[in-house]
């Protein structure tokens, strides 16, 4: 809720923010995003047994990431195509053309994100470097707050956004509902393919990208091996969203970009939404992240 507060504060500032400084605000978002991904990588490199877990459980974790994510994308696309209004569809007007060109020109963001993650993992694996970077990794929440404040400014610059969101009413639940349905269906499929009990498989998929909570919760319920799979698969979902959003934005509707991000759509993956969708979708993304994050503990407990 603190992060949401910073975004609301940023929104207020954005109403009076000089449009001529919009590019500078976007550069702040880019820097914060890369630092957050780098910090995530440092934390992974420091994690005891991370590399052995990745080698031993990597294939199973990958399936638990891939199938729930793909099914979420499919379900959300179908639901939003028929239940949401046409503003989520691609348009051929000059504004949309500029957005597509902007997205295509900034695909380097994907490579920057991957490079930051790999560099962070490498630094985290070296104790001396990890210790040197401890002030950064210990205060990542402030980077996140700054990022959310900057995101709020971007949304605030878009006039009439709240009037547009209010038109959706209960349809705001369409996207998180589709994500949950697709994720749980993917969990069932993973359980059948990997010969896991369905309740355990669905619990892993029910993490919705919240890897820290999913790993700890399922580890306590089902043991270290399943906890590690839950951690890795949901981590892959968060990282994978960075690379899927640019593609989805060009080949599906913009609402569907929220699907792979799931619970992370309110914070870490939000800058990608800003770059490849629009301000309206950014607000829906935040609301989706709040809803998905709220239901993750419930899903894990009920499904298991």
Distance CA 286, CA 172 (A): 11
Query: Binning pLDDT at 50, 70 and 90, where does residue 269 land?
Result: confident
Give the list of residues 6+ apart from residue 225 with CB closer than 8 angstroms, or none.
Answer: 57
Distance CA 77, CA 90 (A): 13
Q: Could you read off the pLDDT of 34-77 as tens digits, one per residue?
A: 887 788 788 878 877 777 777 777 889 999 999 999 999 999 99
pLDDT at 86 over 80: no
Q: Which residue has the higher pLDDT, 100 or 42?
A: 42
Q: Could you read off the pLDDT of 168-197 as tens digits, one per residue?
A: 777 889 999 999 999 999 999 999 999 999
Please answer whether residues 150 and 23 qualify as being in contact, where contact means their C-beta atoms are separated by less than 8 angstroms: no
Mean pLDDT of 78-96: 60
Query: Binning pLDDT at 50, 70 and 90, where does residue 85 land?
Result: low
Q: What tokens does 187 get?
A: 């969990």
Q: Which residue has the higher pLDDT, 224 or 215?
A: 215
pLDDT score at 202? 94
To the question of pTM greater than 0.85 for the whole model, the response is: no
Query: Binning pLDDT at 50, 70 and 90, where does residue 97 land?
Result: very low
Distance CA 210, CA 264 (A): 7
pLDDT score at 233? 92
Provide the number of structural domains found in the chain: 1
Residue at token pair 């996207």 = 175
Q: Which residues of 231-269 are buried (b: 16+ CB within 10 A; e: fewer)?
A: bbbbbbbbbbbbbbbbebbeebbbbbbbbbbbbbbbbbb
Domain of 215, in residue numbers: 2-303
pLDDT score at 44? 76
Q: Could you read off the pLDDT of 125-183 as tens digits, one per residue?
A: 898 988 888 888 888 888 878 877 887 787 777 666 666 667 777 788 999 999 999 99
CB atoms near residue 103 (< 10 Å): 18
């Amino acid at each position: 809720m603190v992060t949401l507060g910073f975004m609301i504060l940023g929104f207020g500032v954005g109403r009076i923010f000089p449009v001529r400084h919009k590019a500078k605000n976007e550069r702040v978002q880019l820097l914060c995003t890369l630092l957050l991904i780098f910090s995530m990588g440092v934390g992974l490199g420091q994690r005891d047994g991370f590399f052995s877990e990745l080698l031993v459980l990597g294939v199973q974790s990958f399936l638990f990431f891939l199938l729930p994510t793909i099914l979420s994308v499919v379900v959300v696309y179908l639901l939003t195509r028929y239940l949401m209004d046409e503003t989520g569809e691609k348009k051929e007007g000059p504004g949309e053309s500029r957005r597509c060109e902007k997205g295509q020109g900034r695909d380097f963001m994907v490579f920057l994100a991957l490079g930051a993650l790999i560099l962070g993992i490498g630094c985290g694996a070296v104790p001396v470097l990890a210790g040197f970077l401890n002030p950064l990794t210990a205060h990542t929440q402030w980077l996140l707050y700054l990022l959310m404040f900057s995101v709020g400014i971007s949304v605030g610059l878009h006039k009439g956004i709240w009037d547009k969101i209010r038109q959706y009413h209960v349809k705001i639940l369409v996207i998180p509902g589709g994500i949950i349905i697709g994720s749980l269906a993917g969990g069932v499929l993973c359980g059948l393919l990997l010969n896991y009990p369905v309740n355990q498989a669905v619990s892993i998929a029910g993490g919705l990208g919240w890897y820290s909570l999913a790993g700890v919760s399922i580890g306590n319920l089902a043991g270290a091996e399943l906890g590690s799979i839950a951690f890795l698969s949901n981590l892959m979902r968060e990282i994978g969203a960075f690379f899927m959003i640019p593609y989805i934005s060009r080949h599906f509707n913009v609402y569907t970009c929220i699907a792979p991000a799931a619970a992370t759509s309110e914070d870490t993956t939000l800058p990608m939404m800003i770059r490849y969708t629009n301000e309206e979708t950014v607000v829906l993304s935040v609301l989706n992240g709040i809803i998905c994050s709220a239901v993750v503990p419930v899903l894990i407990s009920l499904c298991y």
